Structure 1
Amino acid sequence: MMNDTSVLDIQGLSGGYSLNRPVLHDISLQVQPGEMVGLIGLNGAGKSTTMKHILGLMNPQKGDIRVKGKKREEDSAAYHGALAFVPESPLLYEEMTVREHLEFTARAYDVSQKDYEERAKKLAQIFRMEDKIDTLSTHLSKGMRQKVMIMCAFVARPSLYIIDEPFLGLDPLGIRSLLDFMVELKQGGSSILLSSHILSTIENYCDRFIVLHQGKVIAQGSLQEIAQQAGQPGVPLEQLFYSLVQGRD
Structure 2
Amino acid sequence: MSLEIKNLTGGYAHVAVLKDVSFVAKDGEITGLIGLNGAGKSTTIKHVIGLLLPHKGEILVNGLTLNKNKDDYHKQIAYVPETPVLYPELTLKEHIELTILAYDLDKEKTMTKATELLKKFRLDNKLDWFPSNFSKGMKQKVMIVCAFMTDAKLFIIDEPFTGLDPLAIHDLLDIVEEKKTQGAAILMSTHILATAQQYADQFVLLNSGQVKAAGTLEELKETFGMADANLDDIYLQMSKEAVDDHA
| Residue pairs, 1:102-121, within 5 angstroms | 102-121=96-115
**1:106-153, CA deviations, whole angstroms, 9 ceiling, x for partnerless residues?**
121121123212211110122121222221121010100010011101
**Aligned amino acid, residue 142 of structure 2:** V
Q: Which whole-Å CA distance do the structure 2 matches of 1:17 and 1:136 have between them?
A: 34
Determine if the alignment matches structure 1 residue 152 to structure 2 residue 146. yes
Q: How many Å separate the matches in 1 of 2:126 and 2:220?
A: 42
SS class of match (1:247): helix
Contact 1:124-1:133 within 8 A present in 2 as well: no
CA drift at 1:99: 1.6
Structure 1 counterpart of 2:91:
97
Question: Partner residue of 1:232?
Answer: 226
Q: 1:7 aligns with which of 2, 5, 16?
A: 2
C-alpha displacement of 1:33: 1.0
Which residue pairs with 1:245 in the alignment? 239
Give the partner amino acid of 1:80.
Answer: H
Percent same amino acid among aligned pairs?
A: 45
Distance in 2 between residues matched to 1:94 and 1:18, nearest whole Å: 30
2:170 alignment partner in structure 1: 176
Aligned residue runs from structure 1 range 202-221, under 5 A: 202-221=196-215
AA partner of residue 22 (structure 1): A
Q: Let me know the Cα RMSD of the aligned residues.
A: 1.1
Task: Give 3-state SS (helix, strand or coil) of 1:178's partner.
Answer: helix
Cα deviation for residue 46 of structure 1 reads: 0.3
1:33 aligns to what? 27
Give the counterpart letter for 2:237 in structure 1: S
Q: In structure 2, give the amino acid aligned to 1:182.
A: V
Q: Distance in 2 between matches of 1:115 and 1:223?
A: 38
Deviates most, 93-102 or 37-46: 93-102
Secondary structure of the 1:114 match is: helix
- Superposed, 1:124-139 pairs within 5 Å as 124-139=118-133
Shift of 1:234: 3.3
Matched residue of 1:194: which SS?
A: strand
Answering whether residue 9 of structure 2 is matched by residue 17 of structure 1, we say no
- Whether the 8 Å CA contact 1:13–1:25 is kept in 2: the answer is yes
- Give the Cα–Cα distance (whole angstroms) in 2 for the partners of residues 213 and 139 of structure 1: 39
| 2:237 pairs with 1:223 | no
SS of 2:54's equivalent in the other structure is: coil
Offset at residue 188 of structure 1 (A): 0.8
Say whether the 8 Å CA contact 1:103–1:116 is kept in structure 2.
no
Q: Which runs of 5+ in 2 are unaligned?
A: none
Q: TM (normalized to structure 2)? A: 0.95
Distance in 2 between residues matched to 1:220 and 1:75, nearest whole Å: 29
Are positions 1:51 and 2:45 aligned together? Answer: yes
User: 5+ unaligned residues in a row in structure 1: which ranges?
Assistant: 1-5
TM-score, length basis structure 1: 0.94
Alignment length, in residue pairs? 243
